[in-house]
Amino acid sequence: MQLSDRASGLLLAALGAAAAWGGSRLPPVPGQDVGPAAFPMLIGFGLVGCGALIALGIGRGFEAPAADEPAPPGSGWRVLLPPALLLFYVLAAERLGFLPTAFLMVLAAARALGASWRLALPLALLAPPVVHLAFAKLLRVPLPEGLLAAPW
């Protein structure tokens, strides 16, 4: 998603203002002038300043012209697939277990990147057990078992 400098600058300025306001409402430490509020307020004001400068287009002269690579058609929704798959992992891992969840994740990501079924299926079948072996067995990360426990 490409935002105009005006939009991103105003967004940052708004965020900065919110941070400064939120910071100013933090309870002070009794008997001290400088408390938890000082730092967020300082940053908030800094962000407001930077946001304003960006919105006004100052400093743009330093930017390298963006390499305009034409995005393949229909790529808009696909960009959001990786974070969506991570969300899916968070929601499903406990219930389904690591192996089925990872199978679906890898399969979906590979297909979205244009892999043929002949590449995507073996990859989705092989990669999760290997990752499981490395992390659960060697590194002892408690990956959820769920429906399908690994044989080791």
- Distant-in-sequence contacts of 54-57, Cβ < 8 A, 24+ apart: 54/5, 54/8, 54/9, 54/12, 55/5, 55/6, 55/9, 55/10, 55/13, 56/9, 57/5, 57/6
Q: Minimum Å distance from CB 151 to other proteins? A: 19
For residue 53, the minimal CB distance to other proteins (Å) is: 5
Residue number with CB closer to other proteins (140 or 151): 140
Q: With respect to other proteins, which residue has the nearer C-beta, 18 or 147?
A: 18
Supply the minimum distance, in Å, between the C-beta of residue 126 and other proteins: 10
Question: Which CB sits closer to other proteins, 32 or 151?
Answer: 32
